[in-house]
Structure 1
Amino acid sequence: MGGSLYLAARQGIETVVVVMSDGALGGEADDLVERRQSEVRAAASLLGVNTLHLWDFPDRGLSTGAVADAAIAKAAACIADCQPGTVFMPGMLELHPDHRATANVVWSALQQLHERPWRGLRPASWFYEISVQSPVNHLVDISAAVDVKKQAMEIYASQNSENNYPELILALNKARTFSMPPEVSHVEAYFQVPETQWGWSLQKICQTAIDRYFEAGETKE
C-alpha cells in the first residue's frame, strides 16, 4: 500500500505505520535488524509517513501464545492512542506467515476496542494486498505514485537481495488494472470489512468474501 500512503501524504492525511516484528530471519547479515530498520525509516520518509513505530516482536513469532497476546495488547493501545479513522492490515490470504499473523493480531485488537463502544473508537478496517490477490472491494489508482513506490521498495536492499520484490509487487499492481480504464497503469486493492461483520472471525470474513465468487451473474473486482 505504499502508493496509497504517498497519495495520502500529498492530500495532507496523517499516516501512522507500525512494523510489528524485528525481521531478524530475513537474511544472514549480523546487522540485519539494524539494516532493515534503517531501510524502513528511509522508505517511510520517502512516502511521507508522519509516524513510524518499529516494534521488536520476534520474526515469525507473532502467532505464538504469549507473544501474540502481548502484540494484541500493544496494538490495541496504539490504536486507542492514535484514534485513527481507518486501520489497515495485511490480507488474510497472504503468503508470509507474519503477514497473516499480523492480520490476526490487529483484528483481535480491533475486536477488543469494538467491544468498548463507550470509548467512541470504531475505525474502519481495511485489508491490503502484498504478494497475492485476495477478495477485494476497493481499487485505488496509484498511477501518479508508482514511481515513488518503486523507489521506496528499492531502498530495501537487504530483502531485494533475497528476491526481486519490487518487480513482483508492481506486477500485482499492474494485474489489478484489469477492470480499470486503459490510462490507469497500476492499482492497489483493498477489502473493507463491512460494519455488519465487525464481530466475525477472520476465517468467516474470508470465507464469506470467497463465497461471492460462486454467485451467478456478478462481475468480481
Structure 2
Amino acid sequence: MDSPLTLPLDALPWLPVAQVSTLGRTIVVAPHADDESLGCGGLLALLRAAGLPVAVILVSDGTMSHPGSQKYPAEARRALREAEFSEALRILGVAADASLLLRLPDGAVPGPGAPGFEQSVQALSAFLTAWGPATLVVPWRRDPHPDHRASSQLVQAALAALDVRPRLLEYLVWAWERAAPADLPQQGEVQGWRLDISAVSTQKQRAIAAHRSQISGLIEDDPTGFQLSEQMLAHFARPYEVYLEAS
C-alpha cells in the first residue's frame, strides 16, 4: 500500500512575524513540562514581546521521566519539573500566575472514557472560559506520544462546552522523530506555516535549557531515565516553528 501523501513541513510558507499580533490572547497547552519551550517557545516569546496576554496549561505531572530515581522520588520529581516549567515561562516572559497545572499522570493522561477525563475537561473548560483566549495552541492531534494525543482530545472535549471557540493552532513535538506516515498532516487536512523565530531564538534556547532534568544528567541515579537526545533537540534549534490549522 502506498504511504499517504503528507504535508511537506520543511517547505511550508512563511508566516510573517507581524501576524503574531493578530493571534490576540493566547493559551498554549503543554502535555509535559518542556513541550511549551520545544514546540512553542519562539511563539510565546514573540507574543509577549508584542504585549499580548499569554497563559500555559501544563497537563501532566512529569513524574515518569526518571521513575527509578531514589534521590528524586515522585513528589520531588513533580516539584522539580514544575520549577523548571516556571523558570522557562519566566525566561519567555510569561507571567508567573498565568498557568494551570492539571497534574495528570505522566504517561497515562486520560483519554475519552478513562477515569479522570471528564473532571479534567471541566477544569480546562473553566480555565478557558475565565481566560477567554482568541487563540489556543495545542499538540498536533496525531503526535506520536500518547500523552500528546490525549491532551488534544481533552482540549477538543473542553472546546465543545464553550459558546465561542477560539482559533485553534497545532504544533508538533514527537512527530519530528517518531511519526509514521499516517501520523503526519495529510494533504488537504490542514494549512501550515513556518513562523520565523530568529529574533527570539536565543530566548527559546534558554527556556529549553531551563528543563535541566530533561537535557542533562541532573537526575544521576536513574541511568535508564529519560533525556532529550541531541538529535531530538536539533529539531528545535531551527530558526522557525511549524504551526498547523484545520483547513
Using the size of structure 1 for normalisation, the TM-score is 0.74
Aligned residue number for residue 125 of structure 2: 76
Cα separation, 2, equivalents of 1:124 and 1:144: 25
Distance 1:172 1:38, change over 3 A: closer
| Structure 1 runs not aligned, ≥5 long | 175-185, 195-221
1:122-169: CA deviation from partner (whole Å, max 9, x where unpaired) = 210111112324435122111111111111111111111432357524
Cα separation, 2, equivalents of 1:52 and 1:109: 17
Cα separation, 2, equivalents of 1:36 and 1:94: 22
Moved over 6 A (4+): none
Aligned residue number for residue 187 of structure 1: 240
Amino acid at match of 1:37: E
Cα separation, 2, equivalents of 1:45 and 1:166: 24
Aligned residue number for residue 11 of structure 1: 50
Aligned residue number for residue 105 of structure 1: 154
Cα separation, 2, equivalents of 1:166 and 1:48: 26
8 Å Cα contact 2:102-2:120 kept in structure 1: no
Please identify, of 63-72 and 152-161, the stretch whose mean Cα deviation from structure 2 is larger: 63-72
Aligned pair 1:39/2:84, yes or no? yes
Cα separation, 2, equivalents of 1:165 and 1:146: 19
Distance 1:83 1:18, change over 3 A: same
Structure 1 residues 58-207: aligned runs within 5 Å = 58-64=105-111, 65-113=114-162, 116=163, 121-133=164-176, 134-135=184-185, 137-161=192-216, 162-164=226-228, 168-171=232-235, 174=238, 186-194=239-247
Distance 1:147 1:165, change over 3 A: farther
Amino acid at match of 1:192: E
8 Å Cα contact 1:131-1:169 kept in structure 2: no
Cα separation, 2, equivalents of 1:72 and 1:7: 29
Q: Which has the higher helix share?
A: 1
The total of aligned residue pairs comes to 177
Residue 93 of structure 1 deviates from its aligned partner by 2.3
Amino acid at match of 2:201: V
8 Å Cα contact 1:150-1:166 kept in structure 2: no
- Please give the secondary structure, in 2, of the residue aligned with 1:24: coil
Amino acid at match of 1:15: V
| Structure 2 runs not aligned, ≥5 long | 1-39, 177-183, 186-190, 217-225
Q: CA RMSD in A?
A: 1.8
8 Å Cα contact 1:44-1:52 kept in structure 2: no
Aligned residue number for residue 24 of structure 2: none
Residue 76 of structure 1 deviates from its aligned partner by 1.1
Residue identity (%) = 27
1:39-82: CA deviation from partner (whole Å, max 9, x where unpaired) = 00000010011312222222223225121111111111111110
Structure possessing the higher relative contact order (Cα contacts under 8 Å, 6 or more residues apart): 2
8 Å Cα contact 2:88-2:210 kept in structure 1: yes
Cα separation, 1, equivalents of 2:99 and 2:126: 15
Residue 173 of structure 1 deviates from its aligned partner by 5.6
